[in-house]
Copies of this chain bind each other. A is one copy, B any other.
Amino acid sequence: MLPLSEARITIVGLGLMGGSLAGALRGKCRQVVGVARRSETLEKALALGFIDQGTTSIAEGVQGADVIILATPVRTIIQQIEELAPLLPPGCLLMDLGSTKRDIVAAMEQLPPYVQPLGGHPMCGKEKAGLEVADPELYRGRTFILTPLPRTSPDALALGQAIAEAVGARPLVLEAGRQDYLVATLSHLPYLLACALVATADATTSSDPAAWEIVAGGFRDTSRVAASDVTMMVDILLTNQDEVLKAVRVYQEQLHRLAQLVAAGDEDKLRAALGAIQRERLRMFP
């Protein structure tokens, strides 16, 4: 494996995640090549100084690449792994930025033996999508999960870690299944809750014009992630179905328990339950 400073890095997909990564890596490696479907996106990325060169052809983009990073929605990543398999340069590192890792790692298992695969999932994002909101500082201070395969060499993993560190993130190595379990509760569940909250307001209070004047900070924060990119979220939910549904079931039990305490009007038990939760929240975010 080359050191990062000598690597030619191809980033497939120049939306929020890929565009931000390109901008953050440019200057820290030999070259950043961007691949996008539309030439206007490439022109914009060039104008922003995020890439050294661009192409709308993924086959052309991966030629001569030392590192290829797929920054598309999860199921597109899986398709691209299959499509790229015969086109990948020997010795290259193939990474991705998808939020679920089990299916992606399974697809990576099928790659030719001369390719080094490494799953990646940086814990950042915005509720807006696209190159317009990309920011080379997006990754700074965030955790960048890496899910190596048994076949991933220590050198390839080290290069992945160097990439995470180069963009200001903290690499965290996890097994793919464990990452999918954790993010189901910590990331995908909050999205579904936010969606159900917006749907509840839509079904009830939103017909009252006063609702729009009342809706305040608590609702805004709790529902923020419901504005996330739908294509990205559909892919995430459908490639992490089991873990997400398990998390929803635990959540429904917890909500039911709290609602029962409210219904029973048992002040002491309600206070104890809410107090324990408040302390846990303060422990999570001191």
A-side residues, CB < 8 A to B, are: 123-125, 142-143, 145, 170, 172, 174, 178-179, 181-183, 185-187, 189-206, 208, 210-228, 230-231, 233-234, 237-238, 241, 244-245, 247-248, 250-252, 254-259, 262-263, 265, 267, 270-271, 273-275, 277-278, 280-282, 284-285
Kindly list chain B residues whose C-beta atoms are within 8 Å of the C-beta of A182: 205, 208, 210-211, 214
Kindly list chain B residues whose C-beta atoms are within 8 Å of the C-beta of A231: 271
Q: Is the CB of A255 within 8 A of B258?
A: no
How many copies the complex holds: the figure is: 2
Contact of A187 among B142, B218, B259, B262 (CB under 8 A): B218
User: Can you list 24 residue pairs at the A/B interface with Cβ under 8 Å?
Assistant: A123-B214, A125-B218, A143-B214, A145-B214, A182-B208, A182-B210, A186-B201, A186-B211, A189-B197, A192-B262, A193-B193, A193-B197, A196-B255, A198-B280, A199-B258, A202-B277, A218-B225, A221-B224, A222-B222, A228-B278, A230-B274, A234-B274, A245-B259, A248-B259
Q: Is the CB of A214 within 8 A of B284?
A: no
